[in-house]
């Protein structure tokens, strides 16, 4: 606990207090089902059948590639087990028409919430409008609908992502390569191989730094670096922004051709996600867990388990059974397509709770606002990654305790001061308590 003595806030001045927030160690909060019903297969909008891919938009809506139902289902931010979703692509039956899908395995969103789908058995990527509903036509933006290895073809695309410029990156699984397509591409346009190797024009797999062996997931960070879930090499490969086919990648998680359950190993990674701070999240399929690696990770660096129970499959809240695609939201919550449990599990990171109390304003004529601007007391709580918390309004007087949820360890700054010239001073006292908590 940190206690600060009474201080005098003079109008127009700002007091800055730094509080160091450190975790007591890795903590995983209980998982929560946010789509589907555990171990229950079905075709209603509330049920899933082997979900493989998942994406989350900025508003918290959850999009699920419901592979065996041949559709994409969208769930509300507050969805729980058994909540009904809305079908936004596909008809529920396998097909190759523009409105149909055949075992979709990946789903991604661009900045406008257009929906991109890895249509696995149709060897293509379909794009649907943000407001689409089941049965609407999509347009093919990569692939031709038939398998092949030439630049315009795909062979069972599994995972995909879209960068900030609208470029499309595809894990072209059975061609053992990553293909990149322009923002305005249409079916039949050539892609560019940015990772993986061809020999005499034919796909070539292997474990060398320039090869891939069934890449199933792909992610791009803010600098354009490309991360690949190289499934059968049991590793995550990182390639620089301007890489081309045949360039060497660097292993940043797992150990090449060394499968296992140790914290520095992976066993058939299917999904990869990189957050804004550079942390790498991996769906470790055969180990039934989600591993998180630091931004400077290299081959053999230990990860920490942030979802599931290492090496043990199951259907309890803290367990996973063949985790596939994953996504991480702005607050660090991890969403996992828990394939064999026919659900999506959400894991909220164990965080810190900072409670501020005992802040007193002695001029009753002055309205007071916490986390706001304008007349009165201004209170700002900020930290790493631009975390911003909701406004809390108070009238003049002694403040009741106000809790702020802090999910990322680091140095946080408390700022307090008067604004707008309301009164000449505001005497105050602050007590800051920092403790670990799960929501």
Q: What is the pLDDT of residue 202?
A: 87
Residue 143 has pLDDT above 60, yes or no: yes
pLDDT number for residue 16 = 36
**299, burial (CB in 10 Å: exposed 0-12, middle 13-18, buried 19+):** middle
Query: Residues, the chain, total?
Result: 439
The closest alpha carbon to 143, from 209, 77, 87, 190, belongs to 190
pLDDT band at 350 (very low <50, low <70, confident <90, very high): low
Query: HEC string of the chain?
Result: CEECCCEEEECCCCEEEEEEECCCCCCECCCEEEEEECCEECCCCCCECCEEEEEECCCCCEEEEEHHHCEEEEECCCCCCCCCCEEEEECCCECCCCCCECCEEEEEECCCCCEEEEEHHHCEEEEECCCCCCCCCCEEEEECCCECCCCCCECCEEEEEECCCCCEEEEEHHHCEEEEECCCCCCCCCCEEEEEEEECCEEECCCCCCCCCCEEEEEECCCCCEEEEEHHHCEEEEECCCCCCCCCCEEEEECCCCECCCCCCECCEEEEEECCCCCEEEEEHHHCEEEEECCCCCCCCCCEEEEEECCEECCCCCCECCEEEEEECCCCCEEEEEHHHCEEEEECECEEEEEEECCECCCCCCCEEECCCCCEEEEEEECHHHCCCCCEEECCCECCCEEEEECCCEEEEEEEEEECCCCCEEEECCEEEEEEECC
pLDDT of residue 325: 97
149 band by pLDDT with thresholds 50, 70 and 90: very high
Rounded to an integer, what distance in angstroms lies between the CA atom of residue 290 and that of residue 33?
16
**Bridge partners for 147 per DSSP:** 154
The first and second tokens of residue 203, run together, are: 């796909």
Taking 80 as the threshold, does the pLDDT of residue 410 lie above it? no
Cα separations in angstroms, 215 against 97, 109, 159, 301: 27, 20, 8, 21
What is the mean predicted confidence (pLDDT) over 335-360?
A: 75
* pLDDT tens digits along 105-115: 999 999 999 99
Cα separation, 276 vs 292, whole angstroms: 14
Query: Is the separation of the CB atoms in 67 and 105 below 8 Å?
Result: yes
Q: How far is CA 248 from CA 53, 90, 169, 196, 299, in A?
A: 28, 38, 18, 9, 14
Q: How many CB atoms lie within 10 A of CB 338?
A: 31
DSSP bridge partners of 162? 168
**What is the reported pLDDT for 337?**
98
User: What is the C-alpha separation between 381 and 172, in angstroms, rounded?
Assistant: 44
Domains of the chain: 32-347 (2.120.10.30), 357-434 (2.60.40)
Round to whole Å and give the CA distance between 27 and 218. Answer: 27
Say how far apart CA 125 and CA 66 lie, in whole Å.
16
Q: Which of 121, 161, 178 is nearest to 145 (CA)?
A: 121
pLDDT score, position 417 = 41
Residue 160 is predicted with a pLDDT of: 98
C-alpha to C-alpha distance for 182 and 39, rounded to whole angstroms: 40
What is the tens place of the pLDDT at every residue in 176-228? Answer: 999 999 999 999 999 999 999 988 888 899 999 999 999 999 999 999 999 99
pLDDT of residue 117: 98
pLDDT surpassing 80 at residue 400: no
Each residue of 260-318: pLDDT tens digit?
999 999 999 999 999 998 999 999 999 999 999 999 999 999 999 999 998 899 999 99
pLDDT digits (tens, 9 = 90+) for 19-71: 333 333 345 678 999 999 999 999 999 999 999 999 999 999 999 999 999 99
Say if CB 376 and CB 368 are below 8 A apart: yes
Closest CA to 102 of 123, 129, 88: 123
**Percentage of the chain lying above the pLDDT 90 cut:** 69
- Least confident interval from 64-73, 145-154, 179-188, 412-421: 412-421
Residue 167 pLDDT class (50, 70, 90 cuts): very high
Separation CA 400–CA 407 (nearest Å): 22
For residues 408 and 329, what is the distance between their CA atoms, to the nearest angstrom? Answer: 13
**Are 195 and 208 spatial neighbours (Cβ–Cβ below 8 Å)?**
no
Identify which of 365, 391, 392 has the alpha carbon closest to the alpha carbon of residue 376: 365
Q: What's the pLDDT score for residue 331?
A: 81
- Residue 183, CA distances (Å) to 114, 167, 169 in order: 12, 5, 10
């Amino acid at each position: 606990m940190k206690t600060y003595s009474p201080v005098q806030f003079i109008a127009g001045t700002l007091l800055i207090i730094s509080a160091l927030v450190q975790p007591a160690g890795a903590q995983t909060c209980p998982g929560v089902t946010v789509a589907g019903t555990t171990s229950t297969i079905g075709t209603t909008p509330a049920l899933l059948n082997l979900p493989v891919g998942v994406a989350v938009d900025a508003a918290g809506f959850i999009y699920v590639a419901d592979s065996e139902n041949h559709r994409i289902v969208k769930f509300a931010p507050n969805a729980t087990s058994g909540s009904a979703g809305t079908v936004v692509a596909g008809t529920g039956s396998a097909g190759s028409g523009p409105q149909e899908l055949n075992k979709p395995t990946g789903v991604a969103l661009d900045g406008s919430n257009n929906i991109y789908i890895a249509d696995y058995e149709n060897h293509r990527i379909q794009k649907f409008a943000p407001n689409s509903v089941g049965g609407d036509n999509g347009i093919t933006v990569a692939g031709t609908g038939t398998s092949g290895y030439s630049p315009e073809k795909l062979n069972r695309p599994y995972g995909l992502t879209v960068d900030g410029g609208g470029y499309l990156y595809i894990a072209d699984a059975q061609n053992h390569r990553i293909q990149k397509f322009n923002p305005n591409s249409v079916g039949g346009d050539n892609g560019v191989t940015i990772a993986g190797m061809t020999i005499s024009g034919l796909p070539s797999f292997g474990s060398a730094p320039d090869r891939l062996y069934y890449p199933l997931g792909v992610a791009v960070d803010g600098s354009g670096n490309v991360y690949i879930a190289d499934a059968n090499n049991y590793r995550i490969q990182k390639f620089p922004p301007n890489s081309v086919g045949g360039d060497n990648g660097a292993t940043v998680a797992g150990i090449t051709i060394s499968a296992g359950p140790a914290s520095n190993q992976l066993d058939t990674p299917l999904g990869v996600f990189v957050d804004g701070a550079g942390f790498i999240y991996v769906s470790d399929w055969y180990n039934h867990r989600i591993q998180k690696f630091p931004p400077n990770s290299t081959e053999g660096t230990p990860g920490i388990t942030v979802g599931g129970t290492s090496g043990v499959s199951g259907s309890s809240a803290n367990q996973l059974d063949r985790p596939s695609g994953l996504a991480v939201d702005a607050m660090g919550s991890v969403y996992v397509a828990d394939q064999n449990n026919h659900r999506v599990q959400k894991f909220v990171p164990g965080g810190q709770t900072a409670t501020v109390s005992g802040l007193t304003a002695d001029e009753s004529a002055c309205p007071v606002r916490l986390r706001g601007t304008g007349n009165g007391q201004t209170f700002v709580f900020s930290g790493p990654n631009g975390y911003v918390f909701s406004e809390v309004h108070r009238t003049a007087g002694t403040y009741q305790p106000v809790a702020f949820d802090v999910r990322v360890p680091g140095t946080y700054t408390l700022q307090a001061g008067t604004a707008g010239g309301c009164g000449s001073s505001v005497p105050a006292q602050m007590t800051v308590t920092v403790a670990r908590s799960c929501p």
